[in-house]
Amino acid sequence: MRLVDTHCHLNFPDFENDLDEVIERAENSGVERIIVPGIDIPGSRRAVELAGKYPGVFAAVGIHPHSADKVSADDIEELRRMVTGGERIVAIGEIGLDNYRKYSDPGKQRDLFSGCIDLAREMDIPVIVHCRQAEKDVLEILKSRKSDFLKGVVHCFSGGADFLKEILDLGFFVSFAGSITYPGASEQRKVASLVPSERLLLETDSPYITAQPKRGKRNEPAFIKYLALAYSDMFGISAEEIAENTSRNADSLFRLALAERGTISYKIRDSLYINLTHRCTNRCGFCARDVSDHVRGHNLRLGREPDAREIISEIGDPTGYDEIVFCGFGEPTLRSGVIKKVAAYVKENGGRVRLTTNGEGDLISGRNLPLELKGLVDRVSISLNAPDARTHNRICSPVFGEAAFEAVILFIKECRQQGIDVEVTCLDFIGEDAVKSCRKIAENNGARFRLRYLDVVG
């Protein structure tokens, strides 16, 4: 039986003294993946640290509504820095609203929750939502920000059937904690039995809410099997099937790559292309990834995003190639931390680096990214594809809306200011006049211009 614990606070002091043993017991019980959410900045950092140390552990970064009163203006920026610079971060969480304990002002909770959701949309990663007696407000905020970019789970679900229906209608997943196994939880089990199998996840919420067979003890990921057994009784299918379905769901929502597929690097002519991500801040109507998983025979649909170490090992000697090209089935600057680490390796070893991008790196990182790429990146290819903000918004559907276009122009300028060679590209289908205008924008900003043809990649 392979299992995924999608919510487990291994970053809490409760696990300080025996974490290795806890993880070993989890592995011996078939737990292949564990997601560790952060509830504040130090806890999020610890989650990222654990994800770097244990192969089966992934991190989520977030700030719990209980801490909303203490949040500073820089905290969401810090979460952004963690996601863009870090590795194996699969969600923004634990975030949400809590009107039960009300440890923080409700208005500040709403602001924090909304800010964290906006960040998740920008980063194109899911959210892990805590909702305690705040169903109406949670729905209102989720609905106001609903888009293709927003996916997530309501964890430790405690709402009724109506709330469940609304959450499922938004495309969200649901998970229940160990309390569902308690003798007095028949109402909760009734609600759980309404969840379609393709929307259910398993979680322990360790160290809390231990399932009935171990009730009274500290919870840990090895106990997730008791949840699978409880659902097996509820749905009348085997615990193995529950484990398989929920693991597949977790894989799909958090992109954990239980199946580990997708090509990290591939050669076109004499350049080596590095496939960093398939997340993107745009939804271009012409995007190749909407048509096929393959480019030039390579499966680019990554299950798990590669880390810097893996990429460096794929590159080997960079002088064996004309260029190392950061690309992706998505937007590479979503992983600027990895770009900087790998590019530093390539430059130290005599190679050349090119970045292909949608030009939204400043908006994504919240910084002047070209300043940080100076000396690391030789060439940048920026897709413009539109002569003005409105057309850009229509063709590329950026999560940043019309603000994206000006940011792309600024990115071109900033790259030039840092001495980076810039090529602005445009697809032929936008029409002759639009192509002319894009060429002019490129030339006015000291960049070269290249017309590209739809369906020709590389």
Task: By CB under 6 A, name the binding residues for ligand SF4.
Answer: 280, 282-284, 287, 289, 330-331, 358, 383, 396
Nearest approach, Cβ of 364 to ligand SF4 (angstroms)? 12
Nearest CB to ligand SF4, comparing residues 282 and 365:
282
User: What is the DSSP code (8-state) at residue 334?
Assistant: G
**Greatest Cα pair distance in the chain:** 72
200 strand-pairing partners: 174
Q: Which long-range contacts (CB under 8 A, 24 or more apart) does 427-431 make?
A: 427/286, 427/383, 427/385, 427/451, 427/452, 427/453, 427/454, 428/452, 428/453, 428/454, 429/286, 429/454, 430/385, 430/386, 430/391, 430/395
Nearest CB to ligand SF4, comparing residues 181 and 381:
381
Of 1, 4, 7, 2, give the one whose Cα is nearest residue 157: 7
Amino acid type, 16: E
Nearest approach, Cβ of 458 to ligand SF4 (angstroms)? 13
Nearest CB to ligand SF4, comparing residues 36 and 435:
435
Nearest approach, Cβ of 388 to ligand SF4 (angstroms)? 17
Nearest CB to ligand SF4, comparing residues 6 and 84:
84
Angle between helical axes of 135-144 and 161-169 (0-180°, round to 10): 10
Q: What is the Cα–Cα distance from 410 to 305, expressed in whole angstroms?
A: 28
Nearest approach, Cβ of 316 to ligand SF4 (angstroms)? 27
Nearest approach, Cβ of 65 to ligand SF4 (angstroms)? 32
Nearest approach, Cβ of 357 to ligand SF4 (angstroms)? 8
Token pair 């100076």 in the structure block, residue? 374
Beta-carbon contacts of 204 under 8 Å, excluding residues fewer than 6 positions away, are 5, 7, 8, 177, 178, 210, 211, 219, 220, 221, 223, 224, 227
Exposed, middle or buried, 218 (CB in 10 Å: 0-12/13-18/19+)? middle
Nearest approach, Cβ of 280 to ligand SF4 (angstroms)? 3
Nearest CB to ligand SF4, comparing residues 270 and 455:
455
Nearest approach, Cβ of 289 to ligand SF4 (angstroms)? 6
Amino acid type, 23: I
Nearest CB to ligand SF4, comparing residues 175 and 383:
383
CB 129 within 8 A of CB 138: yes
Nearest approach, Cβ of 327 to ligand SF4 (angstroms)? 9
N-term to C-term CA, the chain: 42
Sign for the pseudo-dihedral over CA of 380, 78, 342, 313: negative
Nearest CB to ligand SF4, comparing residues 227 and 377:
377
Q: What is the Cα–Cα distance from 346 to 247, expressed in whole angstroms?
A: 37
Nearest CB to ligand SF4, comparing residues 257 and 284:
284
Nearest approach, Cβ of 328 to ligand SF4 (angstroms)? 7
CB atoms within 10 A of CB 437: 18
Residue 136, classed as helix, strand or coil, is: helix
Nearest approach, Cβ of 255 to ligand SF4 (angstroms)? 15
User: What is the DSSP code (8-state) at residue 389?
Assistant: H
Phi/psi at 85 (nearest 5 deg)? -95, -15
35 strand-pairing partners: 58
Nearest CB to ligand SF4, comparing residues 180 and 280:
280
Amino acid type, 225: K
Nearest CB to ligand SF4, comparing residues 23 and 430:
430
Nearest approach, Cβ of 141 to ligand SF4 (angstroms)? 26
Nearest CB to ligand SF4, comparing residues 11 and 357:
357
Nearest CB to ligand SF4, comparing residues 246 and 336:
336
Beta-carbon contacts of 290 under 8 Å, excluding residues fewer than 6 positions away, are none
